[in-house]
């Protein structure tokens, strides 16, 4: 992976990672998902990477999504 990509998000829930990736892409942010989970036992992390130039914007979107999930 190129050096200009930064890890923005990490979770053990692959569905949540995919939803987050789709939300970022709907807002014009290119995102790459790296699944580091064991395929048999489903432990490990799924990481989401964005280009460093979009990191601040993407982090704000994720924070807003978190607020919406918690009902605030």
Is the pLDDT at 16 greater than 70? The verdict is yes
Smallest CA-to-CA distance from 5 within 24, 27, 26 is with 24
pTM of structure: 0.80
Cβ–Cβ under 8 Å, residues 46 and 11: yes
Distance (Å, whole) CA 19 – CA 66: 12
Q: What is the pLDDT of residues 38-70, one digit of tens each?
A: 777 778 899 999 999 999 999 999 998 876 664
pLDDT at 43: 83
Distance (Å, whole) CA 68 – CA 62: 10
Contact partners, residue 69, CB within 8 Å, separation at least 6 = none
pLDDT at 67: 66
**pLDDT interval class at 71 (50, 70, 90):** very low
pLDDT at 56: 95
């Amino acid at each position: 992976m190129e050096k200009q990509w930064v890890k923005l998000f990490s979770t053990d829930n692959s569905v949540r990672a995919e939803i987050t990736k789709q939300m970022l892409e709907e807002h014009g942010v290119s995102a790459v998902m790296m699944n580091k989970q064991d395929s048999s036992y489903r432990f490990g992390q799924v990481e989401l990477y964005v280009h460093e130039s979009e990191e601040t914007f993407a982090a704000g979107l994720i924070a807003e999504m978190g607020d919406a999930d918690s009902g605030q």
